A and B are shown apart, each in its own frame.
Chain A
């Protein structure tokens, strides 16, 4: 019996599947964490691309902690949702796509966060961020949209 099969047979898995605070609550938290993190990252990405110039990068330095908190909520709620259905999910194309995109998204967001903390003071007053930052900000929106789309499709593809 594989680890994933074992996980599915634990009391914890039963609880997730049958308790109201299991699946429904975790899915709700997953949507909340998504909205917080994706929403704030979207505003940051658009700011780097030249919109919303009334928001200083100083705003995002602290606000990004909230975005990471949202991602943390989704890591935890996502793990709880995964445990009772691991065998099915690891073979699911949509789930696999989502995991790969999340890795790219985290690398991308980590890099953008570093740029924000260490470099953004230099281009605060410019119309746009440096071209490389703009490129990865635009890519960030594509990647995270892909995460949302492939996440939604987990319910459909098998």
Chain B
């Protein structure tokens, strides 16, 4: 797709009230960025706990309870989905052509698919898990994939600034 064909759409996004607001004061962008970094910490904090346990770090955390950390993950993701939305709407022309942002979106989709796969394949088994259940090989793989993909998301987010 030619970039020129989406320029009218980008122009329109830039003209919306939300986009105007994001660019209406010097403190808005840095405040959103600070929240975006904080959200990253919240998201990764929850994910590390869950994924390390899935991968096989066993001390002090029963396998069948790992999903109870998910509300924290969703809070972090929610913060970053909202603030990320404001970034893209606030500066659509930049993000549309930014290689690091495109990679970030691809990694986000893969991380989402990984989570969905876990939900469909592993979650239904969890009610049968006991104190001594070992993490299934597939769950270990998903835990490792989750950490790699989400760190990839964070790194590519950080790299956006170096691609114009």
Q: Which residues of A contact B (CB under 8 A)?
A: 23-24, 27-28, 30-32, 34-36, 38-43, 46, 52, 54-63, 66, 145, 148-149, 151-153, 155-156
Contact A39 B61 (CB under 8 A): no
* Interface bits B27-53 vs A (CB < 8 Å: 1, else 0): 000100110011011111111110010
Number of A-B contacts (CB under 8 A): 105
Q: Which residues of chain A have C-beta atoms less than 8 A from B155's C-beta?
A: 28, 31-32
Interface contact A43-B158, CB-CB below 8 Å: no
Known contacts A39-B46, A40-B45, A61-B60; 12 further A-B pairs (Cβ under 8 A): A32-B151, A35-B40, A39-B48, A42-B72, A43-B72, A46-B72, A54-B68, A57-B60, A63-B48, A63-B57, A66-B48, A148-B38
* 18 A/B residue pairs, CB under 8 Å, sorted by A: A31-B154, A34-B40, A35-B40, A39-B43, A39-B45, A40-B48, A42-B45, A43-B46, A52-B68, A55-B69, A59-B49, A59-B61, A61-B59, A61-B60, A62-B59, A63-B49, A63-B57, A149-B38
Are A38 and B61 in contact, with the CB atoms below 8 A? no
- Give complex CA distance A156, B38 in Å: 18
B binding-site residues for A, Cβ under 8 Å: 26, 30, 33-34, 37-38, 40-49, 52, 57, 59-62, 65, 68-69, 72, 151, 154-155, 157-159, 161-162
Which DSSP category, helix, strand, loop or mixed, fits chain B's interface?
helix
Q: Which residues of B contact A46 (CB under 8 A)?
A: 72
Q: Which residue of B lies closest to A149 (CB)?
A: B34
CB of B101, distance to nearest CB on chain A (Å): 14
A145: chain B residues within 8 A (beta carbon): 38
Q: Is the CB of B48 within 8 A of A153?
A: no
Q: How far is the CA of A43 from the CA of B41 in the complex (A)?
A: 10
Give the residues in chain A near B30, CB-CB below 8 Å.
Answer: 152-153, 155-156
